[in-house]
Amino acid sequence: MLRSSTSIVRLARSTSFVPFARATSVVGLGRSAPARVERASSAGDTRSSMRASIARALAVAAALSMGSVLHAQLLSPYATQVVNYSPGSGGGTFVAANALGAPTGGGLSNGSLDVASVGVGGSLTLGFDVTIANGPGVDFTVCENAFVFAGESFSEVAYVEVSTNGVAFARLPSRYTGPATGLPSFTAPFGTYGVLTGTMPVLANPATNTLDPLDPAWAGGDAFDLADLANDPLVTSGVVDLAAIHFVRIVDVPHGTGTDAAGNVIWDNSGATGTADVDAVCVIQHAGTVVAGQPTVDLFLDAQGYLNLRVEDPDGGADLDGNTIHCSFNGAPIGFRTLARRLVPNVTPTANGYVLRSNGPFVGSGLHGVVTVSVRDVAGHFSADQLSFGG
């Protein structure tokens, strides 16, 4: 269902993101050596020839490896293929190709109109140029066209599933914390839904602003972590490989009958006729970005129900680039110090960074919200995390 609301003051723009690295040319590879006209007369000549052959082989291997990395950098980080579209009933925009490419976010108070509606009972399966991989933090975002009204989210939610082979799909474990008998209005507090798409507004739009679509802390969208599937039977059996995800499927949640991972009935804001509208899928971690030494952002509720934010780097805290820490609360970008002061004011240094903790438990407090944080290290490696809490 298409939707919009009152416009808001435009957010400050971030620094432009440069997605491509300049290729360094490799000279002389593949050029054949002159034919020998003399027979080697000693073992030394033979050893020299072997060493030269090994050196050439290593050079070729290195070039191929470099080519693979550069190739990955030039591939689109967004969905590029509509693999299957089985639209359901109801109103909307049933143009599957609208879900391809970069997001066209309309901001906090306006949902995008360039969308592919899933339809009641429908699904949409998308393919990618890159291989989505399980890296530190969240690995991809699904951009729907949720928007903020009266401080709450108008949400039309859908399940998100992933697959390696395009046949067997593992569903990310969703969570619903709203009333068991349905929502009292057409909006819900942020944090009512977790690990479902259709809940977070999208701000990034390369046509109108310079917000990096691959940074969910400022770009918006619902973020998903493949690590949440570590114990899924399809993963433990090897059918779904979290290091090689090629397909993402978005499936409508049946209003009032669909359930979350714990068996709780999910009630949608939009009622029985509403459905998710997909704008884009953005790949954050893929085979070309997951490397040793990446920073880690981890948002979690500990055993006592306290909110924690862990920001670390395996190369040490000094490797974190403090100028790149981006944060948002309920989709609205805020400063790191503001976030820390309001939510996690207690700081404990660690060997590789720091952990921030709330003053009291969030679980059982009645507090609701969605926190997103991202960071880069000095080499530009990236990590982000998103946590929904409510109850």
The one-digit pLDDT tens for each residue of the chain (391 residues) are 444 443 222 222 233 222 222 222 222 222 233 232 233 334 444 344 434 433 443 343 334 334 444 445 579 999 999 999 999 999 899 999 999 999 999 999 999 999 999 999 999 999 999 999 999 999 999 999 999 999 999 999 999 999 999 999 999 999 999 999 988 888 999 999 999 999 999 999 999 999 999 999 999 999 999 999 999 999 999 999 999 999 999 999 998 999 999 999 999 888 888 899 999 999 999 999 999 999 999 999 999 999 999 999 999 999 999 999 999 999 999 999 999 999 999 999 999 999 999 999 999 999 999 999 999 999 999 999 999 998 6
Asked if the structure places residue 279 within a domain, the reply is: yes
Q: Determine the residue type at 74.
A: L
**What letter represents residue 27's amino acid?**
V
Are residues 186 and 103 part of one domain? Answer: yes
> Which among 137, 166, 169 has a CA at the least distance from the CA of 246?
166
Q: Does residue 53 lie in a domain region?
A: no
Q: What is the pTM of this model?
A: 0.82
Query: Quick one: pLDDT at residue 273?
Result: 87
Q: What angle do CA 88, 93, 95 make, to 5 degrees?
A: 85
Residue 25 lies in a domain: no
Cα within 13 Å of Cα(334), Cβ side: 16
Q: Are residues 314 and 262 in the same domain?
A: no
The answer on 117 and 94 residing in a single domain is yes
Cα-to-chain-centroid distance, residue 105: 16
Q: For strands 277-278 and 152-154, give the pairing.
A: unpaired
Tell me the three state secondary structure of residue 357: strand
Residues comprising the chain, all counted: 391
Determine, yes or no, domain membership for 88: yes
- Separation CA 217–CA 211 (nearest Å): 10
**Measured distance CA(267)–CA(220) in Å, rounded:** 23
Of the candidates 127, 121, 160, 134, the one whose C-alpha atom is nearest the C-alpha of residue 273 is: 121
Q: What is the number of structural domains in the chain? A: 2
Which CATH number goes with the domain that contains 341?
A: 2.60.40
Q: Is residue 311 domain-shared with residue 200, that is, in the same domain?
A: no
**Is 8 inside a domain boundary?**
no
Task: Decide: helix, strand or coil at residue 54.
Answer: helix
Does 246 share its domain with 331?
no
